[in-house]
Structure 1
Amino acid sequence: MQHDIHLFGLNHRTAGVDVRECFALKDQEAFEACVHALGRAVDEVMVLSTCNRVELLVVAKPGSGAAQKVLDCWAESSGRESPDLAPHVYAHKGLDAVEHLFRVASGLDSMVLGEPQILGQLKQAYKASVEKNQAKVVVNRLLHKAFSVAKRVRTETGIGASAVSISYAAVELAKRIFGDMADKKAMLVGAGEMAELAATHLAGAGVRELRVVNRTFARAEELAQRFKGKAHVFSELIGRLPEVDIVITSTGSAEPIIRARDIKDVLKKRRQRPMFFIDIAVPRDIDPDVNSLDNVYLYDIDDLKEVVEENKAQRQAEAEKAREIIAVETAKFGTWLDSLDLQPTIVDLLGRGEDLARKELAKTLRRLGPDCPEETRAAVETLALTLARKLYHDPLVFLKRRSQEDGGGERFLDITRRMFNLDGEAVPPDAHLDRKQGEEN
């Protein structure tokens, strides 16, 4: 094989947040200087840096010593030494690296199994790599394949169908009760991390309007602005309740801030229209007696935990299906990698020509009819197969010549395989080259 694929990373399982922050590689300029310093040891590179993981995908020539050099530069770019980084890093090579990337793209390696956010982050990382001319034949093909694998996993499994976070479960329960959320108004009481996650899921569910109430008004205003909602001072809480259908509370209050007597008056003003309360605070923000009122649905964090645990088990079962898909797609990518050597492409190209020639030959012989002399049939067969071989002669000479060029042969092999559809699959039109190469050629 002409390439070694390496993937180095640290994530929420191997390193605490303090370590991930130290080696986050947010300073793109520093890392670009590092990549430049590696010289010819590295042909392609992509950097994925999120709050839960940092990963470097590298393509290098066999025997280049790229692995240690990349780790040294990673540490240096972060102002640290390799021994500080090494204990936290996992390393994958070859198809193990490919399989890991497919797992990441599909949400199988995330803190929350099946979460889709990582796919968007991966697309941004790939875009940055393309813009910096650091993605070429292998990284281009690998990332496009990773995106299609993730789509297969989403389409063919239910790994993302069930709520596995408290905030997501809360919004899913609201959707079950109200159905269409387009005409519903929601209020968040509290503006911490749980409220922020709930706001994200409410926005995704399509609520008509979002209100935020918090003891610190500035924080309420900040969160409301992010989701194009409205902020209210804490003293307005009870007075604003008749205006909303869904209330999610997550404050740090030591005592309930919403009581049954308050909600009785609220329901009168709403003319008994249903209200949905989700209390994800500990201690609870809402008096449990609220649940005894008609047209009120109240859930606390224990109710939601039961939903989450049940759904986690469902996701694990779906994850097994996803792993089977990833195993198949990893093997296919390995076949494509092998095809970047010249001989497999020559064999596939000649085989393709012969297959086409024999199909057309069969049609021609049928038209000639059963009375056609055997020598004529043999002559026509010889003509068809000879034409196929001769038509591919010049392209093969061209490929042989290009394959001896440093760094360019695999690009032309990939173009040839796509041009003649030797892999029998649809490949994005830009999968074989980066932007700079596209302009130069």
Structure 2
Amino acid sequence: MRRDTIVLLGVNHKTTPLAVREKLALSSGYEEPLRALQDLKEVREYYLLSTCNRVEILFTCQNVELAKARVLERLFTSAVSAEDLNQHIYQHVNDDAVGHLFQVAASLDSMIVGETQILGQLKEAYRHAAKKRCTGFILNKLLHKSFSVAKRVRSETRIGASAVSISYAAVELARKIFGGLDGKKVLLVGAGEMAELAAEHLVGQGVTEVVVANRTLQRAVDLARCYNGRAVALEELLDQLQQVDILISSTGSPDLILRKEDVRPVMRERRNRPLFFIDIAVPRDLDPAINDLDNIYLYDIDDLHNVVEMNRSERDKEAIKAKRIIAEEQLKFGKWLANMESTPTIIQLRAGVEKLVRAEVEKTMGRLNNMEEMDRQGLEKMIAAITGKMVYHPLSYLKTEHHCISLHDRIKTVRDLYQLDSSDNDQGPA
């Protein structure tokens, strides 16, 4: 009678470096890895999520450790060593798995807290799993619940309203200057954490293209791939300036990488179309004198710090509200799971009692099918009413919380009293 365990395994930007996340990412899409899990007898239902910042597997099973080993072996052992996998993988079970999923959906676990992109990624991953019928009764309910939790957090808090990182503030500033980022092209100079944070938010704001320039081209390629962008060498910087609208620079260079005299001819080629520079590097990447050129707007990290500090306390307050909402919804889902554990007993009890009542009625009145329609309907209502009255008290006992008696013990009591596990119970409960 024990219900399946809900298990969530994963890696994310908090636990695992990008070099390892890249190897675990489902770069070929969901089709192949979903198919790879189809014949695992240890797993009942399953769902996969893969983004640039996380890879997570959600599944139900009876034996957690065995199912975990089989899932990881099937999906990842060819990509990373067992040592790396065990070092970085996190595991959540049942209530903790539910809470983690709700936090991910509500973007409390995102690199940029409050961003909206993750919910779309969750829904897209669910569509793939549902299409292949990998999810079932429990995970369908859980995933749909995670979507509604995210919606509730978004509508009841202002979790996404305030920029709380330098990269986030930079993108918000760009959005305000241009009145929106739809159709804009962005050049990220540098491929470190700051650039990764900026790219995460830029994509969510609707930019048309992300170009990444970095001294190490492979690093630029890796970051650009995450956002369907393209990579260029740092030596191509001036050529790229002719095409983009926004440049965000965050390299570790000890010297300026762009000077006023470098940019002046670029503006002639652009026919003085506005160009927005954000320098979030320390020391600075961009010559402050660039700001003297017409139709160029240059902001550095000091310009962004004030915005961030004002917004940080407001975001913290909203995060507290969001966590309270998630805790409420987690509790509700936990009760649904607990009630589901008693469902087989409820169905069996009701069916057994109805069978007994029907047998006694037919013994006295004859076969119901041989009666007039009106009489037959009247007797059907009577059978349903008698059944409802007979099962009312045991069902109330199962459904009402008792501080001293666990649900498992209450289920066992009802099954023992009504002999639901008896081999000779085909005549219904005694």
Structure 1 residues 111-150: aligned runs within 5 Å: 111-150=111-150
Query: For 1:79, which of 44, 57, 77 is the aligned residue?
Result: 77
**CA deviation after TM superposition for structure 1 residue 249, in Å:** 3.9
TM-score by length of 2: 0.61
Q: Answer 1 or 2: higher relative contact order, Cα 8 Å, separation at least 6.
A: 1
TM-score (norm 1): 0.60
Cα offset for 1:98? Answer: 1.5
**Superposition deviation, residue 329 in structure 1:** 1.2
CA distance in 2, matches of 1:185, 1:109: 28
Q: Residues 188-239 of structure 1: CA distance to partner in whole angstroms, max 9, x if unpaired?
A: 37474666765675565466x86969699x99999799569x999545578x
Amino acid at match of 1:393: A
CA distance in 2, matches of 1:9, 1:18: 19
Q: CA RMSD in A?
A: 4.9
C-alpha separation between the residues in 1 aligned to 2:271 and 2:4? 68
Amino acid at match of 2:170: A
Deviations 1:53-102 (A, max 9, x none): 33332223xxx4x2011122134223378777445444333323222211
Q: Distance in 2 between matches of 1:85 and 1:246?
A: 38
Give the match for residue 327 of structure 1.
327
Structure 1: how far apart are the matches of 2:211 and 2:34? Answer: 40
Q: What secondary structure, in the 3-state scheme, does the structure 2 residue paired with 1:43 have?
A: strand
Task: Say if 1:314 and 1:9 are closer, same or farther in 2 by CA, change over 3 A.
Answer: farther
Deviates more, 1:135-144 or 1:105-114: 105-114
- Provide the secondary structure at the position in 2 that maps to 1:36: coil
Give the partner amino acid of 2:330.
Answer: T
Q: Measure, in 1, the Cα distance between the counterparts of 2:35 and 2:2.
A: 24
Contact map agreement 1:196 1:223 (CA 8 A) in 2: no
Summarize the Cα distance change of 1:8–1:85 in structure 2 as closer, same or farther, 3 Å threshold. Answer: farther
Q: What do the CA deviations read for 1:134-160 (whole angstroms, capped 9, x no partner)?
A: 211111111001111111111211212
For the Cα contact (< 8 Å) 1:75–1:82, is it kept in 2? no
Specify the code of the residue in structure 2 equivalent to 1:188. L
- Cα distance in 2 for partners of 1:134, 1:145 equals 17
| Distance change >3 Å, CA 393–CA 57, structure 1 → 2 | farther
2:109 aligned with 1:106: no
2:53 alignment partner AA? N
Q: Secondary structure at the match of 1:92?
A: strand
Question: What CA distance in whole angstroms lies between the structure 1 residues aligned with 2:263 and 2:306?
Answer: 26
Q: Does 1:390 align with 2:389?
A: no
Which segment is superposed worse, 264-273 or 161-170?
264-273
Note the alpha carbon deviations across 1:153-183, whole angstroms, 9 max, x for none: 112112122234444322211233343556x
TM-aligned CA distance change 1:331 to 1:387, over 3 Å: farther
Correspondent of 1:36 among 31, 34, 39:
39
Alignment of 1:413-428 (within 5 A): none
Q: CA deviation at 1:3?
A: 2.0
Counterpart of 1:278 in structure 2 is 278
- Structure 1: unaligned runs, 5 residues or longer: 350-385, 401-441
Q: Which moved more, 1:100-109 or 1:272-281?
A: 272-281
d(CA) in 2 for partners of 1:180 and 1:112? 19
The whole-number CA distance in structure 2 between the counterparts of 1:202 and 1:25 is 22
In 2, Cα distance between equivalents of 1:249 and 1:86: 36
What is the distance in 2 between the residues matched to 1:118 and 1:253?
Answer: 32
Deviations 1:301-335 (A, max 9, x none): 34335544554443332111111111111222223
Q: CA deviation at 1:254?
A: 5.3
In the alignment, the residues of structure 2 paired with residue 332 and residue 124 of structure 1 have an alpha-carbon distance, to the nearest angstrom, of 25
In structure 1, the residue corresponding to 2:99 is in which secondary structure? helix
190 and 25 in structure 1: CA distance in 2 versus 1, 3 angstrom threshold: closer
Instruction: Tell me the SS of whatever aligns to 2:55.
Output: strand
Give the whole-Å Cα distance in 2 for the aligned partners of 1:328 and 1:190.
43
C-alpha distance 52-46 of structure 1, shift in aligned 2 (>3 A): same
1:264-287 CA distance string (max 9 Å, x none): 788899999976421234543321
Cα separation, 2, equivalents of 1:294 and 1:105: 43
Give deviations 1:383-416, integer Å, cap 9, x for gaps. Answer: xxx989938939x89xx9xxxxxxxxxxxxxxxx
Q: Matched residue of 2:39: which SS?
A: helix
CA distance in 1, matches of 2:297, 2:60: 55
Specify the code of the residue in structure 2 equivalent to 1:36: D
Could you say if the C-alpha distance between residues 96 and 344 of structure 1 is closer, same or farther in structure 2, counting changes exceeding 3 Å? Answer: farther
